[in-house]
Structure 1
Amino acid sequence: MICVTRLKKGLFWGERRREMTDEENLSDFEDKMRALEEAIKRDEEAFYGDRTIKEAYNPKNVGALENPDGAASITDHKGDTMQIHLRVEGNTIKDSKFTTDAYGPTIACGSVITEMVKGKTVEEVLRIGEKEIESVLGRLPAENVSSPVLAVNTLKAALEDYKKEH
């Protein structure tokens, strides 16, 4: 009985135990999440180039064009899918959009390739290859070499779709 009384009064700890408020719990959680995010960012920066990270987190040209002049969807050997839509006026790419179900490096490749093609002729775009994407993005680990390949193959398929109709 004495032990129970002491526990209730908090005498074993020298003072009463207090409950953390919701605000304190949230603050502690937020601190841990910030530390985790910073650790992830450091790992990403060691693994990928700055431009790849920038494009993956803030991609350009995401979405679909209504009534595109050319469009394609390709799924690669890993099961990653990319779609590219093109708007072409007078043999020049005026707009391009992409979507993908893949993660960072593939998102970065979709963003870069859809930005690269704007203002170029169909013939110029056909000469874009994986190396051009890699030179813009910088460092891509070996396990991500299929990402620029998927972007280029999807772009070329969208151009083929455009050529069939025009």
Structure 2
Amino acid sequence: MYGLASVQVYGLQSAMKELNFRGVMVVFRRALGKIAAELYSFWNFLTCLYGISPETFQENQNLSSFFKVLTTSTDEDNKVYVSTVRAHSYPVTAFQWHPEKNAFEWGLSMIPHSEDAVQVTQHVANFLVSEARKSLNRPPARRVLDNLIYNYSPTYCGKAGKGYDEVYIFS
């Protein structure tokens, strides 16, 4: 059900530039470079069912004209699928992998927790926060406080072995 996928980065320098990785510390450059050689991308069986091949992606004008492929991954059946895309003209990035799991999920042994794997997680988070900060659409301060995740308590479920250590249950 769960496994690791190998990741290929289409032109490492291009991907770094595309995701605003300019001026990044040497440690992260090393970590991102290792993505191409090591298994840092956690995936589940649904990827095989719903992933899109690079060929199908390129043949679909709606997709290829809107998104640029940054990475592909290979599943355990050696099927290659598009795993990271970035919009050509909009601040939209999409992942077909779980960048957060390396740092925050401990319930499954195949999730890598090396320094490099956690650096990848941290940089993806930094990138997404940086992109969000560019938005001028901001709620009033009181509404921000009302919507903070700190207003809710996570439920630990790591021993269940389902791939999530903590979940938020909203009622």
TM-score by length of 1: 0.31
More strand per residue: 2
Would you tell me which structure has more helix in proportion to its own residues?
1
Q: TM-score, normalised by structure 2?
A: 0.30
